[in-house]
Structures are given as structure tokens and as C-alpha cells.
Amino acid sequence: MKPIIEFKDFSFKYRSQVEPTLRDINLAIYPGEKVLIIGPSGSGKSTLANCLNGLVPFSYPGDITGTLEIDGVNPKKLGIFGMSKKVGTVLQDTDGQFIGLTVAEDIAFVLENDQVPQDKMFDKVGEIAELVDVATLLHHAPTALSGGQKQRVSMAGVMIDDVDILLFDEPLANLDPATGKRAIDLIDRIQKQKNTTIVIIEHRLEDALYRDIDRVVVVGDGRIVADTTPDKLLAGSLLKEQGIREPLYITALKYAGCEVTPESHPQHISSMNLQPYVDKVQRWYREKTFQKVENRQEAILEVKHLSFGYEDGDPVLKNIHFTVQKGEMISIVGKNGAGKTTLSNLICGFAKPNEGSISFHGEDIADWSIKERGEKIGLVMQNPNQMISKPMIFEEVALGLAVRGVSEDEINERVNATLKICGLYPFRNWPVSALSFGQKKRVTIASILVMNPEVLILDEPTAGQDYRHYTEIMEFLKEINRDYGITIVMITHDMHLMLEYTDRTIVIADGEMLAIDEPARILTNKQITDKAYLKRTSLYDLAIACEIPDATAFAAYFIDYERAMGGEG
Amino acid sequence: MNGRILTYEEKDTWIHRLSGVSKLIFFMAWSITSMMTYDTRVLVVMLILSLVIFKVSRTEWRQISAVFKLITVFMLINLIAIFLFSPNQGTKIYGTETVLYHLFGNYAITTEQLFYEFNIMIKYFTIVPAVLMFLATTNPSEFAASLNRVGVSYNVGYALAIALRYVPDVQDDFHQIKNAQEARGIEMSRKASLMDRIKNVAAIIFPLIFSSMERIDVVSSAMELRGFGKNKKRTWYSGKALQRNDYLVIIGATVFMIVGLVITYYDGNRFYNPFL
């Protein structure tokens, strides 16, 4: 069979850069295949994707050597529009991808540009909406949908063109775990139904492997470092070397001293042959020693019977009630749109609760202004670009102090100290625009930290970060928590984050608080994970398969073990 | 969500069902008439009609109150400025002088001046509801489709539509950013002096521009990837053919404009003179 995508000795250098971003790529993908491309940020995997959909070289010009053929044709000959007929791209940021005012219009966008008559468009949109299960949403505004629905709409928008290749750029980045699972499931179904070639770019390997993948291509430093089956990849040590997170059950097996072999089919925990490993895992578990969990007893933030709604009779939050202890790291989880961000808005005073109260060190803060709250409780928003308002790093961090009339000497001293804590001191005179996304995030954290808040609330601190940057940010937060006693509240749907870095988790679903407990206990409880659109951790399945009755203790031990390893794993 | 202003809201009134083109033509005829005429009779009729249309379109006060207040403030400033710079404009126009109250020097309040400024005020009040109603009742995509149909390039039409469509998103961004900056101590509420508030707006505008640029970048990639600009023409999912009501509105608006202007210019100038 002839490959549908074929790179031969392909290299690419962006016009603005000195070094090529992709080097000596040799890759063939065959019709109907489902290929996963993984690699850390900056490895060149996004550039590789852009070569496939024609953004390189048409929107991002540069120098190409070697050849690339899509369906036997050089993309250069087809032009970006010709390419859009062959390759449909679902971008990572689905929000930004919406063009139409309603779902139906957005799906029809390609047809409109192809001058398809209106009545034909109606038929076709209806048909494709049925396929991806958004038929009831046709007249809604795309931005008003949930994360999963948005993604299905953007899939419909590219699939309507009957493309041969579907390209997904980090499809899981903005989804809660259960919705991510559904997305992978849908991609799988489409591939089976239409026999479309699927290319998925992702760094959340465990979630991406939820359904069978034919091949995994690992990209590192602009080169293809592996092109293999998932089973072989998981058995080797390449993932660790490339800074990609292994599935948790694989890591657990490796901790237990097992030699994972491709023959045991480690791609899915459910179908994996665990026979050879059971003994070792059980022995590892029996050796367990638990680290003492400090019992904290000083409440810093109390949320009491809080209810809130924008309109009467349509509550966003109902009777939320919990206490955050001083010095703890706590996470707030729940599906997209469950009310997590609303909760942080209420704590920061951006909105007023309809019922209930919030206290800080036992004092009711209902009368505190946003500014007063901001001095004690700092909020770091998800998108750093929404916070940064000064061109230079130093000025940005100094802003909060400057507007409070702090003396210049004190500003210099405090800002420099904060920049050192955040590892930004060497860059203090740089323009913000020269920084990477992760570094910008640090700048926003620094600009809040400089005001010495006692509580730090972070909205999705690691969204869109690869494993290395994720670890960097989280270790940094752990450090300021440990060394400076700052209480950290994180809103997230990253289950690794809650499992590894937080002591307790608040679970919110449909505006109600389902539980507040240790993450290991929550992620092994099917009832809660189902209701809150979380995913039960694969450690649970591993424990059950190895006949360890207390799966929660197993998961907890795994985390302790990993923490003791000092984040090496 | 909440606090959005000046955006299209879907409702089922005959005004919403009209094609964007007919509304645009109506709006243009209406504005031309209002700008040309100083004839109080015509203006009063237009004022009453615009209130009626406003009511019929079921536009809610909260959708437009902020903009309306802002325009009212500017109008007041304008009226005062007119008085300061040419207090005798009314006398010049109407040819008589009826002093109500003498202030000082050249400045006297005359009935003519008051009447003249009253005319300017209702001119505002006839145009403003029409603009607001147009924005609140016209579906941006359908509007783009209509513009395209009357011969405007679809690039221009789509640029307009997408700008309108992003108004609510940018407003949401604005609220988020404002909140976050306020938490950092950049006071935007009444507690800060006006000067400080103006200075502080920069702290919001800057990130707002950056996040908007990001948005533009992504959406233009997305449009390109999906074949926008490929052909000289395109079709429209939400295009509407002109219907009987549309023709009635277009004819009505044109006739209204002609009649209004004829009445205005009948006696040789743009002003209606009750003082003769």
C-alpha cells in the first residue's frame, strides 16, 4: 500500500530561526492508520503537525529540504486551501477556533467557502451533527457549550469536508478526564466508521492510549527518536528519557521492580497480562511504610454554606461548605463548568454570594473589598496574558506594590527577593514578551507573591504544559508552600496534579460539593469519579488485578513512594 | 453571561426576522433624515417612532443602558459647549430674540437658543435608539450575508460580523482582567480619583489587547485552514432572502426619508421656525 503521508529526509527551518526545528524526518503513515505523535514542548511536534495541514510553509514560511507528500502530492502544489481538503485540523484551543455565531454556522463554514447551496448545507450539517452527537445544539452559541461539546463541534467543522486525514492538536488539553475519555472514544469510532487516517498530537499519553493506537511516534529535539507500537514503547525507558509521563500503572510496575515486556501488552491496563508481575507488586506493597501526614488544625479559610447564582432559581453553586487549613495544598476538581472558577471568584470578591459566608482566620470577609482580599488571598489566572500589563518583568512584579504607595527602596528589595524565589532574577530587566508561556506563568505568580499573600489560588496552573514544565511549576509551588508556609489552593482537572501534589481534594459536580478527602481515596471511588467526570486512576485497576484489596492504600503508597523519590519518576 | 452590552440577542419579533439589509437601509435613511433636518415637526415624529420601534423590538434596557448613559453625558457636554461658544446661534437662525434671562456680557438665555438646542437634543434621541436597536437585533452573520448580497465584498462583511461576534468575548475578558487587576490593588471603583482611574485603565487595556491579539491569531489560522478566501464568492448558511416585510421596510424607509426632507426644505431652509 502507498503511504498517505510520507516524509523523506525532511528538514524545516522557520525563517525567523537560526537552527532547523525539524531535522531528517523520515516517516510514512498509511491510509486508515491511527498514529499518536508525542514529545515534550519545543520538540517540534507542533511544527510537524503544521507541515501536515499546510500552515508550514504557507502561514509560517521557512526553508524546507527533503520531501513531503500527502496523498502523493507535494503540499506546496496544493496550497493551503488544497491542503484543507485533504487534512482536517482540530486545533488545541477550540474556543479560538470557532468562527460562526452558532454551532450550525460554524460547522457549515467550510461549505460556505466552497459555495455549496444553502439547502444542501442544511442537509449536510444535520447529518454530520448527528454523527458527533451535537444535533440538539445546532442553534446554540459555540462559546456557551461545555468543553467536550465544543470539541465535538470543531470536529464536525472539519469532518464535513470528507477529509482523508484528521489531525488533532492536543485534543485533551482543555478537557476534564471523563470528557477526554469520551473524545478519544469518539475519535476511535470515527476512524472505524469512515476509515479516516488519524494523527493525534498529545503529551497526555495514558489518556490518549485509552483506545487502541496503531503506532506511536516520539519526537525529541526536532528528530524522530522512536516509531513503534505502544506496547514496545511502554516497555522501554525512552519515555522517561524524553520527559514524557508514563501511564501511572506502568510507573508503579517499574517501582515494584518489574521488567515490563511488550508481550504482556501494556497498552491498556484492562487487557494487560499482569500474571508475570503480580508477585513483585504484592511484595512491593507489603513493604510499604507510610509517611506521617501532619495533622493541621488551624483553619485559614472557611467557606460556609455558600450558594450563588447569576439569576434567581438557577444556582451555579449550592451549599458549598469546607475549611482550608493553614499551610496545606488543596485542590478543587470537577468537570468543566461545574462552578470551580465561580467559587474562586466568590472567594476573591469578584461576585457576591447569595447565601452563606466566607471567613479568613475566623473573620467574616463579606465587607472586604476586592483589593483588601487581594492582599491576603492572591489569585493567579489561567492565562498569564490576561494578567500581565507592563512591558518589563520588574515593573510587572512591582505593580501591586507601586499602586499601594510602597517606597521605592522597599519595592526594589521585595521584588528582587521574589524574583529570586521564582527563578526569574536573571531575567529581571527583560521584556515580558521574550518569555515562554511557562515563564510568563511564573511572572504572574511572582507578581502575586510579592504582596505576601497567605493564600494563593491558582486556576489551572499547569494547563497546556508538558511534563517537564508541569513538574517545574509544581515543584516550585511545593517549595513556596513548604518554605514560606503559603497555603495553596489549585483549581484543576489534572488528576496527576491532585494525586501527587495535594493533601486533600474538594470535588464539585453540578454546583454541589460531593466530597472533601485525600486524593487517593477520591480517585479510587467509582461513585465520585463518575459523578464528577473524573477518571478512576489506573492504580486502582492495577491493585485489583494484583489482588490487593485496599486499592486506596495502594494508590496512597504509590504517591508516597514517588514523593520520596523526589520527583524523579 | 452577565453584564454584556450592545450585543445581538436572539428574540422572535418581526424586527429580528427582517433581513440585515433592510435594517441597514432603514438605519441609513433614518440617520440621513435625522442629520439633515432641523425641522422640529419631523424630529418629533421620528422621536415617537423610534420609541415605538424600540418597544416593538423588545430590546431590554440593560442591554443598552450603559451606552445610553454615556451618550447622554456627551450630549450634555455638547449642548453646554454650543451655548458657551455660540450663545446667539438661535437668534441668528430664527431671526428674533426673546431674552429670558440675561447672564453677563454677551451671554443671555434666549428662547431661540433653547429651542435650537432642544432640536439638537432630539436629533440625538432619534439616532441613538436606531443605532442601538440595529446592533441588538441584527444577527452578525446574517448581516454579513446581507451585505454580501447587496454587493459588498464578503471579506468586508465577514470582518464586520466577526468583530460584532467578538464583542461579548472581549467584554468577558475585560471583566476577568479588571477583577484580577483590582485584586492586585489597581482600584477601579469609585474609591479612586478620576485621574487614577483613567491611569489604571491602562492596566486593563494592555492585557486585553494582548489576549485579543492571541484570539485574532488563532481565529485567522482557523479560518484559513477551513478555506476562507478560497473563492471569489461564498454562500451563507444563515443568509435570508428578502421577504415581503423587508420590501415594505425598505420602501417605507425611503418614502419616509423623501417626505421628511421635502417637509424640511419646503420653506427654503432646514429649520422649522415657530417664532415667525
Which residues on chain A are in Cβ contact (under 8 Å) with B146? none
Smallest Cβ distance to A101: which of B140, B185, B228? B140
Write out the three cell numbers for B157: 462583511
Residues A261 and A305 placed together within one structural domain of the fold: no
Residues A154 and A262 placed together within one structural domain of the fold: no
Which residues on chain B are in Cβ contact (under 8 Å) with A109? 223, 226, 228
Residue B133 CB partners (closer than 8 Å, separation 6+): B15, B50, B53, B54, B57, B59
- Asked if B210 reaches chain A (Cβ–Cβ under 8 Å), the answer is yes
- Asked if B186 reaches chain A (Cβ–Cβ under 8 Å), the answer is yes
Asked, for residue A117, whether it belongs to a domain, the answer is yes
User: Please, which pLDDT band fits residue B6 given cuts at 50, 70 and 90?
Assistant: low
Rounded to whole angstroms, the Cα distance separating B67 from B17 reads: 24
Residues A233 and A375 placed together within one structural domain of the fold: no
A311 DSSP 8-state letter? B
Q: Which amino acid is at A559?
A: I
- Asked if B182 reaches chain A (Cβ–Cβ under 8 Å), the answer is yes
Handedness of CA A363, A368, A373, A379 (dihedral sign): positive
CB spacing of A115 vs B184 below 8 angstroms = no
Residue A431 CB partners (closer than 8 Å, separation 6+): A391, A392, A393
Task: Please tell me the total count of domains within chain A.
Answer: 3
Other beta carbons less than 10 A from residue A446's beta carbon: 22
Residues A206 and A266 placed together within one structural domain of the fold: no
Which residues on chain A are in Cβ contact (under 8 Å) with B210? 385, 388
What are the domain boundaries of chain B? Answer: 1-137+244-276, 140-237
Rounded to whole angstroms, the Cα distance separating A23 from A458 reads: 38
Smallest Cβ distance to B2: which of A96, A97, A310? A310
- Asked if B106 reaches chain A (Cβ–Cβ under 8 Å), the answer is no
**Per-residue model confidence (pLDDT) at position B190:** 66
Q: Which of B95, B56, B1, B47 is nearest to B249 (CA)?
A: B56
CATH number of the CATH domain containing A105: 3.40.50.300
Which residues on chain B are in Cβ contact (under 8 Å) with A104? 237
Residues A221 and A249 placed together within one structural domain of the fold: no
Q: Give kind and range of the element (H or E) at residue A357.
A: strand A355-360
Write out the three cell numbers for A458: 491558582
Which residues on chain B are in Cβ contact (under 8 Å) with A369? 189, 191
- What number of CA atoms fall less than 13 Å from residue B257's CA on the CB side? 17
Q: Which amino acid is at B39?
A: D
Asked, for residue A445, whether it belongs to a domain, the answer is yes
Which residues on chain A are in Cβ contact (under 8 Å) with B16? none
Rounded to whole angstroms, the Cα distance separating A248 from A499 reads: 11
In chain B, the residue whose alpha carbon lies closest to the alpha carbon of A156 is: B226
CB spacing of A125 vs B219 below 8 angstroms = no
Do B229 and B154 form a contact (C-beta atoms < 8 A)? no
CB spacing of B183 vs A99 below 8 angstroms = no
Q: Give kind and range of the element (H or E) at residue A481.
A: helix A467-484
In chain B, the residue whose alpha carbon lies closest to the alpha carbon of A374 is: B183
Residues A529 and A553 placed together within one structural domain of the fold: no
Window 234-253 of B, Cβ < 8 Å to A? 234-239
Window 141-170 of B, Cβ < 8 Å to A? 141, 161-162, 165, 168-169
Residues A519 and A465 placed together within one structural domain of the fold: yes
Other beta carbons less than 10 A from residue B95's beta carbon: 11
Q: Which is higher by pLDDT, A445 or B189? A: A445
pLDDT in tens, chain A (569 residues): 899 999 999 999 998 888 899 999 999 999 999 999 998 877 888 889 989 988 888 888 899 999 999 999 998 888 888 888 899 988 877 777 788 888 999 999 999 999 999 999 999 999 999 988 899 999 888 877 877 888 889 889 888 888 899 999 888 877 888 888 989 999 999 899 889 999 999 988 999 999 999 999 999 999 999 999 999 999 998 998 888 889 999 999 999 999 999 999 999 999 999 999 999 999 999 888 766 666 677 899 999 999 998 776 778 899 999 999 999 999 999 877 778 888 999 999 988 999 999 999 999 999 998 888 999 999 998 888 888 888 889 999 999 898 888 899 999 999 999 998 888 899 889 888 878 777 888 899 999 999 999 999 999 888 767 788 788 888 889 988 998 899 999 998 888 889 889 999 999 988 899 999 999 999 999 999 998 888 889 999 999 999 998 999 999 999 888 888 865 44
CB spacing of B207 vs A81 below 8 angstroms = no
Residues A465 and A323 placed together within one structural domain of the fold: yes
Residues A225 and A317 placed together within one structural domain of the fold: no
What's this model's pTM, rounded to 2 decimal places?
A: 0.78
A511 DSSP 8-state letter? T
Residues A138 and A97 placed together within one structural domain of the fold: yes
Residues A464 and A565 placed together within one structural domain of the fold: no
Coil, strand or helix at A198: strand
Rounded to whole angstroms, the Cα distance separating B90 from B110 reads: 8
User: Please, which pLDDT band fits residue B189 given cuts at 50, 70 and 90?
Assistant: low
Asked, for residue A145, whether it belongs to a domain, the answer is yes
Sequence-ordered alpha helix ranges (H) in B154-193: 154-183
Smallest Cβ distance to B141: which of A101, A110, A399? A101
Rounded to whole angstroms, the Cα distance separating A505 from A329 reads: 9
Asked, for residue A54, whether it belongs to a domain, the answer is yes
CB spacing of B180 vs A121 below 8 angstroms = no
The strand pair at A487-491 and A455-459 is best described as parallel
In chain A, the residue whose alpha carbon lies closest to the alpha carbon of B164 is: A101
Asked, for residue A293, whether it belongs to a domain, the answer is no
Do A269 and A290 form a contact (C-beta atoms < 8 A)? no
Rounded to whole angstroms, the Cα distance separating B231 from A115 reads: 8
Asked, for residue A556, whether it belongs to a domain, the answer is yes
- ipTM of the complex in this document: 0.72
Domain limits for position A280: 245-287+537-569
Residues recorded for chain B: 276
Asked, for residue A292, whether it belongs to a domain, the answer is no
Residues A54 and A148 placed together within one structural domain of the fold: yes
Residue B1 scores a pLDDT above 50: no
B243 DSSP 8-state letter? -
